[in-house]
């Protein structure tokens, strides 16, 4: 997969809704109802972070949910990439980018939303052909004002900021010309997931989707 093909697919996925839920799921039994709740609320693109032993099983479960597209987050190594693709991930997300990770995604035909925190990192990814990137960690790297400033000299790059993005500040990011969507965990709070309050999660997802659509 070429960087251009990867970016085309990634851009399509990121354009489906203003918010990509960033999910840390500990129990695969919650995977399907959680995905169904989020998709029903209007958030079809889901990022399952590889931070729990259940993550790959969660991806397998969510990959079968109608109307959704599930990706694997926290990709660090080529082994992560291969495992995520085998589990059914349709895209990958990484906190940063290394040559080995990028090559593995290209070899496995897994579109990558690679992370960048500085203008130099963003330029290096752009040099490799990646013009849609993750801005991470967004909040401690200056938030929306910093991303706006990066966009001035690099208008050809679109970003999905994550890390400290919440219901309170998501609109600040989404109002920027160089932001295609945001990633955040607030639409699937751990407490609601643990209690199986799927209707409440659908409501949070619907509110997030509507808020983004009004900008």
**Structure tokens that stand for 169 in this block:** 């500040």
Does the annotation count 197 as an active-site position?
no
CA distance linking residue 165 with residue 186, whole number of Å:
8
Catalytic: which of 36, 47, 61, 106? 47
Catalytic: which of 28, 61, 85, 134? 134
**Structure tokens that stand for 59 in this block:** 């991806």
CA dihedral of residues 110, 116, 120, 122 (deg, nearest 10):
50
String of DSSP letters for 5-70: HHHHHHHHHHTS-SEEEEE--S-GGGHHHHHHHHHHTT--EEEEES-STTHHHHHHHHTTSTT-EE
Does the annotation count 47 as an active-site position?
yes
Q: Under a CB-based contact definition with an 8 Å cutoff, are residues 52 and 214 in contact?
A: no
Residues annotated as catalytic (active site), given as ranges: 47, 134
């Amino acid at each position: 997969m070429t960087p251009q093909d990867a970016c085309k697919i990634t851009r399509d996925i990121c354009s489906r809704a203003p918010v990509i839920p960033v999910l840390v799921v500990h129990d695969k039994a919650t995977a399907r109802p959680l995905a169904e709740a989020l998709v029903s609320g209007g958030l079809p693109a889901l990022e399952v972070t590889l931070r729990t032993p259940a993550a790959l099983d969660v991806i397998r479960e969510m990959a079968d949910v109608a109307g959704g597209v599930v990706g694997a987050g926290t990709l660090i190594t080529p082994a992560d990439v291969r495992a995520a693709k085998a589990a059914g991930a349709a895209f990958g997300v990484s906190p940063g980018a290394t040559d080995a990770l990028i090559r593995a995604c290209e070899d496995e035909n897994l579109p990558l939303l690679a992370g960048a925190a500085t203008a130099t990192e963003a330029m290096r990814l752009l040099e490799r052909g990646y013009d849609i990137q993750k801005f991470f960690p967004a909040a401690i790297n200056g938030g929306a004002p910093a991303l706006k400033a990066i966009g001035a000299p690099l208008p050809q790059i679109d970003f999905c900021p994550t890390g400290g993005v919440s219901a309170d500040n998501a609109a600040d990011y989404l109002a920027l010309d160089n932001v295609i969507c945001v990633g955040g965990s607030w639409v699937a709070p751990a407490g609601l997931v643990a209690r199986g309050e799927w209707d409440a999660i659908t409501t949070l997802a619907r509110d997030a989707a509507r808020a983004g659509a009004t900008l």
